[in-house]
Amino acid sequence: MGLRDDLDRFKKIGEEERQDLQDYIQHGNLSTGEIKIPIKMVELPEFVYDQYSQGGVGKGQGDVGDPVDAGEGEGQEGDEGEPGEGEGEHGQYEMDPEEFAEELDDRLGLDLEPKGKKIKEITEGALVEKVRTGPDATVDFEELFKKGLKRELALHFDEDYVREVLKVRGMAVQSTFEWARENNIPVSKGWIEQEYDNLSADKRTTYDSLDDIDRDYQRVPASDDLNSISLRREDKRHKHPEITKEYEKNAVVVFIRDVSGSMQQHKRELVERVFTPLDWYLTGKYDEAKFHYIVHDSTADEVDRNKFFGMKSGGGTRISTAYELTQQILDDNYPWADWNRYVFAAGDGENFRDDSKNNVVPLMEEIDANLHAYLEVKSNQYANHGEIVEEELGEKENVAVTYVEDNDDVMDSIEEILSTEGSE
């Protein structure tokens, strides 16, 4: 086993010993912006050379054969130390978004394949497809000649060859007529009957099978003139390369968060535990993912990611302002024909009922998206927004409403959201 094998083995140990993905999402530190899952530090084996050592290599004081003396000096007698009080040394297993998305799919039993909307690359393969038009250089002459030959066979036949067929054991009038039809030989049944009657009984068993017929006999009259094969324009087929279209998997994700006065620290943390993995997941799933972060109380503003997760709460609530801003951003920059679009909103469900029913629900219907999701952090009896969205849009394949109360609900909410993506 070499050093490369050792390195691969220790990497595998690191993967096996890192914190479980579910525990990390539910309880780990997600605020770093990177996917770094804690693991027990595994030291890789290495050779160490002390450049400050004196004397020859492998030689100390004394002569060969002298007994070993522990001697004096620091560390020679093994001083008794105090028990350790600190935490063990830990490392971090860095996971890229693609690996995170793959493992989360595996963890949740999902197999989501993003829909590509815009063609990124067209690859030409082998000349396998046949089309009616094209340059002369692409004409399939072999196919053209075969069609002409079939037509020639259908118009002409060598009478001597058919007479020889009648000499095959078991090929009486009816059998020969059926054989001629199967092989597109234009001969009448009357002609076959006449020729069969002219054969003596012993000649009707000259051959045991069609393969035994003398090679001097040809199905069509022999000709050295290839121009006798009629080639027609309508028989032309042009070879065309097989086209493979690779679609660019682009996504735009809009995160909406309620920052009104009722959204306290615990609620904000639960929103982060659901939204951050979704952020990483979609980054790993798409070639290009754009993210927009909107916060709202009674009005809405677009902010950067750090401010989105770190903003304190205050003010009233009017959720529709966030969807109005979302609609403007998507319509101005991300046409539905070219982009996969996701709108994820979160709050504690407290909103004016009229605003939810008369404004938010119609906006969600107007905004084309692969998925609309609303995450409601359970609060009190005044929460009704999630319930209204479920009542009005619950039948739609691309709408998900999910609820969280504590960290144990986080993975269920993520699974509910990701498994709801519709095909509308």
Which pLDDT tens digit goes with each residue over 211-270?
888 766 555 444 444 455 666 666 666 666 666 655 567 889 999 999 988 888 888 889
Query: In this predicted structure, what is the pLDDT of residue 141?
Result: 64
Q: Which of 286, 244, 242 minimizes the C-alpha distance to 119?
A: 244
81: its two tokens: 């130390």
Integer Cα distance of 277 and 100 in angstroms: 9
Integer Cα distance of 166 and 156 in angstroms: 18
Q: Which of 272, 283, 367 minimizes the C-alpha distance to 322?
A: 367
Please state the rounded mean pLDDT for residues 169-191: 85
Q: Looking at the chain, how many residues does it have? A: 424
Number of alpha carbons in the 13 Å side-chain half-sphere of residue 407: 10
- b (16+ CB within 10 A) / e for 107-146: ebeeebebebbeeeeeeeeeeeeeeeeeeeeeebeeebee
Integer Cα distance of 43 and 270 in angstroms: 35
Please state the rounded mean pLDDT for residues 400-413: 90
What architecture (CATH level 2) is domain 249-418? 3-Layer(aba) Sandwich (3.40)
The percent of residues in the chain predicted with pLDDT above 90, rounded, is 20
89-103, 327-341, 342-356, 409-423: lowest mean pLDDT where? 89-103
Q: How far is CA 209 from the centre of its chain?
A: 57
The pTM of the whole model exceeds 0.75? no
3-state SS, residue 307: helix
Query: In this predicted structure, what is the pLDDT of residue 63?
Result: 59
Residues 144 and 59: beta-carbon distance below 8 Å: no
Which residues of the chain are in CATH 3.40.50.410 domains?
249-418
Please state the rounded mean pLDDT for residues 42-59: 54
Confidence bin at 105 (pLDDT 50/70/90): confident
Q: Is the pLDDT of residue 87 over 50?
A: no
Confidence bin at 81 (pLDDT 50/70/90): very low
